[in-house]
Amino acid sequence: MKITRIEPTVATLTPKKKVAAYARVSMESDRLNHSLSAQVSYYSKLIQNNPEWIYAGVYADSGISGGGIRRRAEFKRMVEDCDAGKIDIVLCKSISRFARNTVDLLETVRHLKSLGIDVWFEKENIQSLSADGELMLGILAGFAEEESRSQSDNAKWSIQKKFERGEQWHAAAYGYRWDGKSFVICEEEAEAIRVIYDNFLKDIPFSQTSRWLQKHGHASSVPFIRYALRNMVYAGDVLLQRYITENPRTHRIIENKGQLPRYYITDNHPAIIDRETFEKVQKKIQDSYDFNPAAHRIVKPSCFSAKIICGKCGAHFVKGATRTNGHDGLQEHWFCYDKIRKRTCDARNIRGYRLREASCEVLGLTEFDENVFAKTVEKIRTTDTDVLEFHFYDSTVKTARIHYFDQAEKKYTDPHKKPFGYRWSNEQGYVLVPKEAEAVQLIFQYYLDGWQITDISRKLEADGYGSIRGKISRKLIAYTLDSDFYLGVRRIKAQFSESGREEIIKNDHEPLVTQEMFDAVQMRRRAEYKRWKGRERDAKCDGHPGQHP
């Protein structure tokens, strides 16, 4: 018989827990900010006064709804620190402070539970690692979410009643000010609105109007000009409840397309644009859409719109533009709609000036006249060859030959014709711009040395490097790092090639980086992308991805 002595074990000290707390208030106000400060102070003292705990910080979001976590920066930072092993226990005043969305609450708690992290809810006296913790959380979180939905419905009801009484929000459009009772005209800004409408009726291009607005210190972007031309506010009217909140969970604002009533108030305030002028502009905009169904923006209809029919698929040709080295930087082209939108046709593209030359030939004109063309030509049909068929209103048909892109020309019709670091020469093709080319090489070198894109941008700016638009932005740096153009490779997009498919031309121009450098950069870019996707997945940002590194 063998007897083995078992020595008594010496009790070891339980390691201290790293404890953090989370606090949140929904709205910015002095009273609620005081409440948030009180929560932060309370939990700081509670954690630091417990000898078995190590203080890991208090995370606090102010003025942010608990319906989602996408905009809760401190909440997401807390989860990231949990992933990094910096926290063992999370304290929170109540379930509603942690999240009012049942899905977000349970997913986050389960994720932390998988990491061995306990979440304590003080008001409900629940610990997530306990046996019945998740069951109680699900029940109480449902009540919290329903309370949030009820509050949202009450707020919507109150707002809708105000709209029914004709009460409006006080956000004044450009050209107006709110005087406490109604909108009053700001004459300095109103001048810009009148110029926008006047120029549009005179067919002055948006770009020219934008330059005038910028020169005189007004809002000047092209989207703003389009917005002003469509806005009934400038005629003295207002449309209430144009936009609504989709649901209290996402808080996403969407256009009201009939889900809820809308309220149109006529002659609500002084008009900047008289009603006759406003209606003329709206009619012209509508005529633009009717004349060119493929247009998705305000355009001046061309005499060729809806008249060129593809002989291969039967779709209409639509107008586009590609960048060139001309005086205005753009050249008009006409494309088969099915080719550029559906990628189901391989019809050739037609240059605008060559289309006009062929029209002059069949009309017997020395100079192209839009009015003559519009009154005499019913349609133009393309063929499989370089012949265009002109069908006249008197039922006659004439033909003319058109010069399509040839192999030497089509290589340089891509809109992205001026990559950073190069310029175009008719004799030599792409040639290096020394200062920009040096910046490109530094971008790759700094990135391979471990620099972040933001730091690279600041460094290049400090060293005097720039682009045609000013400093070398983070977006330009990211594009540069991902573009194989700097290996000497040229990619021609499908809509600019005769085959209708993307074409790749190697050794097209002098490269700025080696294949080894480019591959090393791509390896780091992919690794950073994976880390970013991992953080996004863990944070559960309501399906809205964060910023790419």
Radius of gyration of the chain (CA): 32
Q: Over the range 187-215, which residues count as b (16 or more CB within 10 Å of their CB) and which as e? A: eebbebbebbbebbeeeeebeebbeebee
| Domain match, 422 and 395 both | no
Write down the pLDDT at residue 128. Answer: 83
- pTM summary value: 0.35
Of 380, 404, 428, at which residue does a domain stop? 404
| Beta strands at 89-92 and 17-25: parallel, antiparallel or unpaired | parallel
- Domain span at residue 368 reads 308-404
| Domain match, 440 and 384 both | no
The answer to whether residue 5 is domain-embedded is no
Percentage of residues in the chain with pLDDT exceeding 90? 15
The answer to whether residue 162 is domain-embedded is no
| Domain match, 147 and 40 both | yes
Residue 313: Cβ within 10 Å count = 15
Domain count, the chain: 4
The answer to whether residue 147 is domain-embedded is yes
The answer to whether residue 169 is domain-embedded is no
- Residue segments in the chain with a per-residue pLDDT below the cut of 50: 29-30, 293-299, 325-329, 406-416, 545-546
| Domain match, 497 and 464 both | yes
Write down the pLDDT at residue 146. Answer: 64
Q: Per the structure block, which two tokens stand in for 505?
A: 């031309």
Write down the pLDDT at residue 255. Answer: 72
| Domain match, 268 and 336 both | no
Q: From CA 17, how far away is CA 91, in angstroms rounded?
A: 12
Q: Per the structure block, which two tokens stand in for 475?
A: 């977006």
DSSP 297-324: S--PPPTTTTTEE-TTT-PBEEEEEEE-
